[in-house]
Structure 1
Amino acid sequence: MNEIREEEKKQQANGVPQGANSNQFKPLDDTREYIPEIGQETYDNPTAGISPFTKRIKKGAWILLGVAIAGIIAYGTMSTSKSVDTSDDAAVALESHMSTSLAAGTKLMSSDDNYVGGDLTITHNSNADETTLYVWDYAAEDGDYVEVIVNGTSLGEPFMIKNKPVTFTVPTVGEVQVVGTRDGGGGITYAVYYDMNHTTYFNGVDQGGNNTYTLVRE
């Protein structure tokens, strides 16, 4: 009897039934694996688990992509070069430096040839007070700059002439000057087209020089 009581005391002290006669359920060891919970900081900082080296690689890739895109845009904006016109009309215009059949913006040469033209008097029968003047580089886009002056007044800052024409509104009677302000190499070759008589004049000027077009109505 004393032995039974001693065993009960041990059970009460340990809180768990002891002995072979105990039918108390003993839980098995939990061997399941749990996926760690994602902390809130992961949502706040998605790159928390990315190594600094990987971050640098990704950042560098984005920078290179941005530079490439910017370069493509800049090239498309700055370069307006077109193909050389090799037609019979173009060949005649290259010799006479004038054409009534070629469109404004026609390119006659792939490179400048140091051609220096001169002043011109243009007689026309237009009744309009104003006309559109087109100015462009009919050879290579090599950084030539000109300034347009009408009756002593500049129409704006010097600009780089390209194969794509720049237009101005000018009077049909008076003087139009094209001043060569910068030679990008090989001479400043340019062309002007007057809408009043549908004629193109292929001219050239030295840096610091100018060509004067005197417009006279018949």
Structure 2
Amino acid sequence: MRKVQQKSNQPVTEYDQPGKDHDNDQSEQELVPHQSMIRKSLGWTALTIVGFAILSGFFTTSYSDEGTPEEVVANRINTATEAGESLFEEEVNANIEARDFEVTNAGTDGGEARMLIWDFNKVDLDEVAVWVDGVPVKEKLILSENASAINIPVPSTVTIRGVKDVGGGISYAVKFPNNDTTYFNVVTTGQTNTYTVLPRP
């Protein structure tokens, strides 16, 4: 006896239609790789942006990271100031007084160190003289925004003497690149500041 297959009264859905499963699988296979590529490219873009942000933070470091110009000069010593950097547009000294400094870690014992000196205020062409261990190295140095470089022995004593004050006081900054430190100072005509330059321990 032959069995008769009964027809189902249930409606045929789109999933039951012939060929639909195959088409659906194909569209899913096409979408997944495309989405994966987008996710990867977004991930690399985000990492690149973060990397640039970190690098730009290193290269844009300046005195502003340690306070206002007045605060930086009032602190007298700074490790973020670039050589030749002008902090003020007017001739001001942030109420600092003349002072002597001890410069540590300036270089190897018996070697040489560089000292950079410039006017950190509005440039008015004040003049100083630079002596190293009692010997004149620069008898007339005009201070400007361009840092002048002087090679000095380590250890030694550097003396800065005020020669000519054009007005507002003689203000200047010295930086020793070996220890990446800037010292802010003032001096009057005929008076001196000393920097005791010491080697690394």
Identify whether the pair has TM-score above 0.5, normalized to the shorter chain: yes
Match of 1:179 in 2: 161
Give, as a single letter, the amino acid of the residue that structure 1 aligns with 2:133.
N
Match of 1:89 in 2: 66
**RMSD across aligned C-alpha pairs, in angstroms?**
1.9
1:120 partnered with 2:97? no
Give, as a single letter, the amino acid of the residue that structure 1 aligns with 2:87.
L
Deviations 1:87-106 (Å, cap 9, x if unpaired)? 24352422202111121111
Instruction: Work out whether residues 173 and 216 of structure 1, in 8 Å CA contact, stay in contact via their aligned partners in 2.
Output: yes
The 1:176/1:210 distance shift into structure 2, 3 A limit, reads: same
Q: Percent identity?
A: 31
Paired with 2:163 and 2:140, the residues of 1 have a C-alpha distance of: 7
Match of 2:119 among 137, 140, 147: 137
Instruction: Work out whether residues 135 and 161 of structure 1, in 8 Å CA contact, stay in contact via their aligned partners in 2.
Output: yes
Match of 1:161 in 2: 143
Instruction: Work out whether residues 112 and 186 of structure 1, in 8 Å CA contact, stay in contact via their aligned partners in 2.
Output: yes
Match of 1:108 among 82, 87, 94: 87
Paired with 1:126 and 1:153, the residues of 2 have a C-alpha distance of: 20
Structure 2: where are the runs of 5+ without partners? 1-61
Match of 2:174 in 1: 192
TM-score (norm 2): 0.61
Match of 1:203 among 185, 192, 195: 185
Paired with 2:84 and 2:66, the residues of 1 have a C-alpha distance of: 14
Instruction: Work out whether residues 175 and 181 of structure 2, in 8 Å CA contact, stay in contact via their aligned partners in 1.
Output: yes
1:98 partnered with 2:77? yes
Which has the greater radius of gyration? 1
Give, as a single letter, the amino acid of the residue that structure 2 aligns with 1:93.
V
Give, as a single letter, the amino acid of the residue that structure 2 aligns with 1:198.
D
Match of 1:61 in 2: none
Runs of 4+ in 1 over 3 A off after TM superposition: none
Give, as a single letter, the amino acid of the residue that structure 2 aligns with 1:127.
T
Paired with 1:146 and 1:125, the residues of 2 have a C-alpha distance of: 22
Instruction: Work out whether residues 106 and 113 of structure 2, in 8 Å CA contact, stay in contact via their aligned partners in 1.
Output: no
SS in 2 for 1:93: helix
Superposition deviation, residue 156 in structure 1: 2.5
Give, as a single letter, the amino acid of the residue that structure 2 aligns with 1:196.
N
Count of matched residue positions in the alignment of Structure 1 and Structure 2: 134
Q: Where in structure 2 are the equivalents of 1:23-34 lying within 5 Å?
A: none
Instruction: Work out whether residues 105 and 178 of structure 2, in 8 Å CA contact, stay in contact via their aligned partners in 1.
Output: yes
Match of 2:128 in 1: 146
Instruction: Work out whether residues 133 and 168 of structure 1, in 8 Å CA contact, stay in contact via their aligned partners in 2.
Output: yes
